A and B are shown apart, each in its own frame.
Chain A
Amino acid sequence: MRSSLLLIASLLFAGVAAQPAMTATDIIPPSALIQPAQLAGELKTAPPTILQVGFSKLYQQAHIPGAIYAGPTNSETGLTALKAEAEKLPRGTAIVIYCGCCPWNRCPNMDAAYTTLKAMGFSKLRALYVADNFGQDWVDKGYPVVMGQ
């Protein structure tokens, strides 16, 4: 009985260890979310400071006009880059962070970026809700994009 329990526990641990860190992005409150259509509208009128906190090869292919690369925030290197960019900004700056690497509830970057910027004291912080990925939810919708670095 005890050996069976140990075996089950070992298998469960092995299964968890084989997976990358996952996130439910439940740290970011719904009130802090901004939808793609709304951000596209704000780009025309009062663009916020936009930080892309995802993987660099996504940013290099295409990103929102004006977005600054500061990631990937699932790593210490990425968090350091985010903090370095954020340090340059007044704490009252309107910031939108986004990733779009993968489905929202699978994104490994957004929670860490949001938590870090909140801890730094940014009060006007919002997160772009990308349901599936940047390609489908932003580019394919025809919202503004620039290619290249």
Chain B
Amino acid sequence: MHRRRFLMGAAAAGVSPVQALQKLAPGMVPPSFIRTGLDGKRVDSAAFKGKVVLLDFWASWCAPCVITIPHFRDWQTRLRGRGFQVIGISMDDSASEAKAAAARLGVNYPVVMGDAKLAAGYGGILGLPVEMLVGRDGRILSIWRGETPPTVIENAVKASLG
């Protein structure tokens, strides 16, 4: 009974099938966003146009995400001068969890809080981690969904920097 009510309610509320999510793919332009970062500073993704940007969807409880963050931190330090920028998007329930993890991991790039709406704009973040590499022209170069060896991402980053 409860389940029937739920489904009827969902239909009445105009819930659409997930196929309505537009999957992003290389060559497409991802949506831009303006959010306040965990450090309180404004983060405007459009302001990074002209750089190679790695978007990292992560969460503090996601082991494969946390394992890769030291690599992102390292690349941010070493490749910043060549026009590279990492932006973290935390899918944690609360900013305090994300903030604590970012501090513990020594994150040295902007991190904003993600939500279902932002995730839907990126084709759905239906599992973590997700990394998206965006080129200097603002178009997606690569998308990695799930646990990916850091060397794979690093090679793509370096190739995109020229």
Contacts and interface: CB of A to CB of B under 8 A. Distances in A.
A34 interface: no
Interface string A53-70: 001111011100110000
Contact of A146 (B15, B66, B127, B145): B15
Q: Is the interface of B mostly helix, strand, loop or mixed?
A: loop
B145 A66 contact: no
A12 B17 CA distance: 47
Contacts of B105: 18
Contact of A148 (B13, B67, B115, B145): B13
A74 B97 CA distance: 13
Contact of B116 (A47, A57, A65, A66): A57
Given A55-B93, A133-B145, A146-B10, A72 B127 contact: no
A135 B122 CA distance: 13
Given A55-B92, A61-B126, A66-B6, 15 more contacts: A18-B104, A19-B66, A20-B61, A55-B61, A61-B116, A61-B124, A62-B18, A72-B61, A72-B93, A101-B61, A102-B63, A103-B147, A133-B126, A133-B127, A136-B146
Interface of B: 3, 6-7, 10, 13, 15-18, 20-21, 59-67, 91-93, 101, 104-105, 114-116, 119-120, 124-129, 145-147
23 contacts: A20-B62, A22-B63, A47-B3, A58-B91, A58-B127, A61-B119, A61-B125, A65-B6, A65-B10, A66-B6, A66-B7, A72-B93, A106-B147, A133-B126, A133-B128, A133-B146, A134-B127, A135-B145, A145-B17, A146-B15, A147-B16, A147-B20, A147-B21
